[in-house]
Amino acid sequence: MNFADTGNMASLAPLAVVLPILGAALTFVLIRHSRAQRAVSIGLLALTLLLECLLLASVWDGGTTAVTIGGWLPPWGIVLVVDQFSSLMLVVSTVVSLAVLVYATGQGMADGDQDAPLSVFHPTYLILVAGVSNAFLTGDLFNLYVGFEILLTASYVLMTLGGTGPRIRAGVTYVVVSVVSSVLFLIAIAMIYGATGTVTMADLAIKLAELDPGTQTLLHVMLLVAFGIKAAVFPLSFWLPDSYPTAPAPVTAVFAGLLTKVGVYAMVRTETLLFPGENLNTPLMVAALLTMVVGILGAIAQSDIKRLLSFTLVSHIGYMVFGLAMSSIAGLGAAMFYVAHHITIQTSLFLVTGLIERRGGSSSIDRLGGLAKLSPVLALLFFVPGMNLAGIPPFSGFLGKVGLMQAGVSLGTPLAIVLVVGGVVTSLLTLLAIARVWNRAFWRKPEDAEYPDPVLQRPGTVGMLPRTMVGSTAGLVLFGVALTVFAGPLFRVSDQAATEMLDRSSYIQAVLGDEAPVPPIPKTLPAEAVQDGGSK
Amino acid sequence: MSVNLTLLIVMGVLYACGIYLILERSLTRVLLGLMLLANATNLLILATGGYAGLAPLFDQDIPSEDYNDPLPQALILTSIVISFAVTAFMLGIIYRTWTLGRQDEIQDDVEDRRVARTPSFDAEDDADVPMETSEFPLTAVASPGTAAESDGETVTAGAKELSADTAALEESPGSRNVSRNINLEGGER
């Protein structure tokens, strides 16, 4: 196969959505045969991952390719757009979902839950993956809404799996908040269609610029609010720590990794493609600062590891919004790298928490102790992503944060400097929160815990940590380390992607043809920010 | 031709009622509110299609301005299907809440309430003389909670054997961990 021939490779892009849906259908048919179900879902997801790696390879050196669906040409039909950012997100998200799927399969096999309600897991999970892939690939605003709905509907089912009291309670909050954000998104789409007569994003990039500035701001704010709820940006983030921790460990892990990042991805597309320039950058920066600080202060107060991690998840969304709000090449590039890093690390931490819960009988740091002695492997698996999340050198979390800080300093506005300081403080407080978990759950003796769990008195880990679960977690932790090792090429790709996305001509012309006019960006960027972007 | 004013008024009323209802604590009312919001949005999409016109079945004799815009209708169809699925799921959840707890109310998060009640003082983090909780035996002897006993108990530290008292002294706050001090106090070589 010829990698240089991007057109041919990219025409396989629809398969990234079709294969998981096909897998969902097959696993639904095989609902009584759990072994076949596992083989089909893992096999098809691995195939999807292979395909997405080919997609990423085809756009690795830049360029954007659009695939029209069903022969309907844009701006009338639906297009899928493969560029560096979307294919990078696809690969990272599928690596993470594959690891979580293997973990969940291991957990299912260990606990022997072969009965009816949980066999729904495989089809639902694959539909979730299809929705995420669709949201990353699509070049059509309404199709983005459909992608969101596919993944949200699947996530409602996963969130309330088993139908226990706490999960139903959390599920109600989650469903209502998600539906409200979807309605807001749909209202925004309706208004955009009413104002411009199109929902193809490339076409919108041209037509939105011709609108009255007031109308533009209205549509811009509507979209940002809708995506802000999904991405859990500060004033709209309170649903997340309330609803994530009660779900089963693998489900929380995949939600934490992927769902909020799809919201961030949609925000990036809105800010770069639809509404370029610096219109709402100041409010976005303030929101980013508050997200970081309020989120991490919440994390410090928690005693349940899952809740603590949910709060750090909210807090670190702030870094991505910060990078996005700078709308400079360096900032956007660092934000993209940070998204890839954070998907991997946050998911691994939640998977490890699932293991901690199995070994220690609880996920509350008041009940845990001595895990470093009981299971050194578990301690290592927690320590590496934990330090990575806190941004300790040389891990990818450090590199991503340094990239953001550099971009902030080179932007040089007072607000950007405040955000840089806020980012450093948040990083330190994250270290504090992680160290608290480490000191209590791993370092102290089990007897010193406030209410030690009786299971801590049993020596060793025999039969408590299935090999598949530990193996998949270790694989994901290693993938996180690999992001550190290959940070150089990744930063090069994300900076290049940021350059192309801020320029927009590559995207618009890939969808609408080479003659399509590219409207100028309303207000030009500060010259030094553009210059600094290239030299990393 | 003009945009249908009745439709717009109906849309406004639906939005108002929907927003009022989702602010209630009863789950059934929240569900009704969500349904009203979804339908109001469908009317909004319909309104964006512009003036009413002929059904978009292509005929060469009809000029293109006379057709109705078919795209909003396709969008509405999709959104109706989605809101149908969500409504069915919400009904399932509400029924489950009812069978579990015999109540139709949004419940508070217990853990959240507990964290909010937790005092800011934490014995392990904030006590003046911090309680020692390390895995190492030396410090375990020195911890003030366990009142080290000195009758002949010894502790192996590195290559040396120390009496428990000396070891505790060495680990206490302010100690410089110098073995010379221990030798002066008569510890074994």
Concatenate the DSSP letters of all residues of B7-36 into one string.
Answer: HHHHHHHHHHHHHHHHTSSBHHHHHHHHHH
Q: What are the boundaries of each domain within chain A?
A: 6-534
Residues of B in contact with A156 (CB under 8 A): 86, 89
Is residue B64 exposed (0-12), middle (13-18) or buried (19+ Cβ within 10 Å)? exposed
Q: Is A187 on the interface with B (CB under 8 A)?
A: yes
Q: Which residues contact B45 (CB under 8 A, 6 or more apart)?
A: A186, A189, A190, A193, B72, B75, B76, B79
Residues of B in contact with A161 (CB under 8 A): none
Q: Nearest residue on chain B to A195, judged by CA atoms?
A: B48
- What residues 469-528 of chain A have any CB closer than 8 A to a CB of chain B? none
Q: Nearest residue on chain B to A157, judged by CA atoms?
A: B89
Q: What are the boundaries of each domain within chain B?
A: 5-106, 124-184
Contact A411, A331 (CB under 8 A): yes
Fold classified for B5-106: Helix Hairpins (1.10.287)
Interchain proximity B111–A245, CB inside 8 Å: yes
What ipTM is given for this predicted complex?
0.85
Interchain proximity B109–A242, CB inside 8 Å: yes
Rounded to 10 degrees, the C-alpha dihedral A346/A348/A352/A354 comes to 80
Q: How many CB atoms lie within 10 A of CB B55?
A: 8
Sign of CA dihedral A413, A419, A421, A427: negative
The pLDDT assigned to A169 comes to: 87
Of A40-44, A81-85, B3-7, B51-55, least confident by mean pLDDT is B51-55
Contact A371, A442 (CB under 8 A): yes
Q: Is A163 on the interface with B (CB under 8 A)?
A: yes
Q: Which residues contact A342 (CB under 8 A, 6 or more apart)?
A: A261, A316, A319, A320, A397, A400
Backbone angles phi, psi at A82, to 5 degrees: -105, 115
Q: Give the residue among A154, A147, A131, A143 at the shortest CA–CA distance from A70.
A: A143
Report d(CA B99, CA B95) in Å as an integer.
Answer: 6
Residue B131 banded pLDDT, cuts 50, 70, 90? low
Residue from B21, B83, B86, B120 to probe the interface with A (highest A Cβ count within 10 Å):
B86
User: What radius of gyration do chain A's Cα atoms show?
Assistant: 22
Strand residue runs (E) in A243-345? none
Q: How many CB atoms lie within 10 A of CB A29?
A: 13
DSSP state of A14: T
The model's pLDDT over A151-208, given as tens digits with 9 standing for 90+, comes to: 999 999 998 887 788 888 888 889 999 999 999 999 999 999 989 888 999 889 888 8
Which of A1-15, A126-140, A349-363, B134-148 tops mean pLDDT? Answer: A126-140
Facing residue for B37 by CB, picked from A163, A183, A304: A183
Q: Write out B72-107 in H/E/C secondary structure.
A: HHHHHHHHHHHHHHHHHHHHHHHHHHHHHHCCCECC
Residues of A in contact with B109 (CB under 8 A): 169-170, 242
Task: Give A115 to chain B, closest Cα distance, Å.
Answer: 19
Q: Is A307 on the interface with B (CB under 8 A)?
A: yes
Facing residue for B106 by CB, picked from A146, A172, A183: A172
Facing residue for B48 by CB, picked from A169, A190, A241: A190
Question: pTM for this structure?
Answer: 0.85
Interchain proximity A193–B75, CB inside 8 Å: yes
Contact A265, A89 (CB under 8 A): yes
pLDDT for B150 beyond 70: no
Report d(CA A18, CA A13) in Å as an integer.
Answer: 9
pLDDT for A224 beyond 70: yes
The model's pLDDT over A101-120, given as tens digits with 9 standing for 90+, comes to: 999 888 877 776 544 456 78
Residues of B in contact with A142 (CB under 8 A): 75, 78
Residues of A in contact with B34 (CB under 8 A): 176, 179-180, 183
